[in-house]
Amino acid sequence: MSEDIFSQFFNLFNNDESNVNWELAKQINNHITKDEESTPFELSNNEINYEQIFRVIELKSEELRTNGLKPIEITFLTPKEYGQWFIESIKHFNFENIESPELSLFGGIGGNNMKSSIFGMQFGNLAGLLGKFSWGLSQFGLILPQSATLGINQKNFNAKITSFEANENDLTLGLFSIEYTTLCLGNYSQPFENIMNTLTKSSEEMIENLKDLNFDMNPEAINNPQDMFANISEVEGIDPSKVFENIAAPLSFYRSVIKQKSKDLGILQDESIFDLLMDLSFSSYESPTKDIETKISELDNYSDNFLDYLVDSKSTFSIEDILSNSDLIPTIDELYDPINWATRTSMPPI
């Protein structure tokens, strides 16, 4: 006999093992991607040896690797599986350091598990968003996951590769290089902390809605967390514009770093392929991510110029220094005028 709905409700939110309710995150991801294809897709070109391409990138990227986990294999995933892979790949982060008075207060009011469940909802939404609409981590500059497996979102990968009139082998090599680079850069924790700070602010706003929440306790709602929270503004699906608008500049900066590091591999004779693949203006579909893609795209040239400024000005800070210190990440105004960044970062702390 199946559990009663109150037991299901308790189990959904019961989480004593970590600061994030990963089971809830997984269920929300599965719900968001439930209408996507679950059967294996045909690769766009069966004559391309994808495993061989991965090994070439692995050999060429020795200098890129830092101390930490690196991908040693590649696998093609369905949208649902890609979201699950993303969830697994961010569990390494120390979530104990993410705190706010509002979340602490809510944990005291609603139980010790509610704070972790809020993060679970946020990451479940983010994972589902990536699985359903993203062709990879580099699309948004998400430098944060760590995994021994390079996951490729197969459906969106095929759509991305076949949207250009260029050599498919070069496009595949370029996209794999970009995603491999992004995953290797996940060894830096500061970019993820920027993401978490934004998610924390979003969670605090959700708390205001949860205080007056009347849960729908029917069995279907319990089995579908998205539906159960449908009466909470922004919970049924993270509003990407709202969640990411404050970090559009850092995300654009991370994307430029990914692109430059990929070019540094020297793996493609025509480096403009990297520019082509990373150009968000070529997105031909409508999705909830369109607004944030537009905001990031508007900053891409400024971010590229910022990296040029670091070299031309012989800055004392390297790209690695900036990725290691959130205080060095340029703001949107500093992307527009890197001299402002140089002035701020050269001043002694108050």
Q: Is the pLDDT of residue 230 over 50?
A: no
What average pLDDT does the chain have?
Answer: 79
pLDDT the model gives residue 1 = 38
pLDDT at 78 over 90: yes
Which residues span the domain enclosing 66?
5-346
Among 25-34, 185-194, 213-222, top mean pLDDT goes to: 25-34
CA distances from 204 to 100, 199, 269, 298, 339 (A): 8, 9, 48, 29, 35
- Per-residue confidence at 104, pLDDT binned at 50, 70, 90? low
pLDDT band at 118 (very low <50, low <70, confident <90, very high): confident
pLDDT digits (tens, 9 = 90+) for 240-287: 455 556 678 889 999 999 999 999 999 999 999 999 999 988 765 567
Residues linked to residue 76 through DSSP beta bridges, in sequence order: 152
CB neighbours of residue 8 within 10 Å: 15
Question: pTM, whole model, 2 decimals?
Answer: 0.82
Domain count, the chain: 1
Higher pLDDT, 222 or 171: 171
The residue-averaged pLDDT of 283-297 equals 77
pLDDT value at position 38?
54
**Six-digit token string for 47:** 């004559």
Half-sphere exposure of 58 (CA within 13 A, CB side): 14
pLDDT of 270: 94
- Asked if pLDDT for residue 170 goes beyond 90, the answer is yes
Query: pLDDT by residue (tens digit) across 316-330?
Result: 999 999 999 888 999
Q: Is the pLDDT of residue 229 over 50?
A: no
Which tokens hold the place of 133?
Answer: 């609409």
Give the integer Cα–Cα distance in Å for 68 and 116: 26
2: DSSP letter:
P
Stretch 17-29: mean pLDDT = 85
Q: Is the pLDDT of residue 344 over 80?
A: yes
pLDDT at 235: 43
DSSP 298-310: HHHHHHHHHHHHH
pLDDT band at residue 20 using 50, 70 and 90 as cut-offs: confident
Q: What is the pLDDT of residues 197-207, one digit of tens each?
A: 766 776 666 66
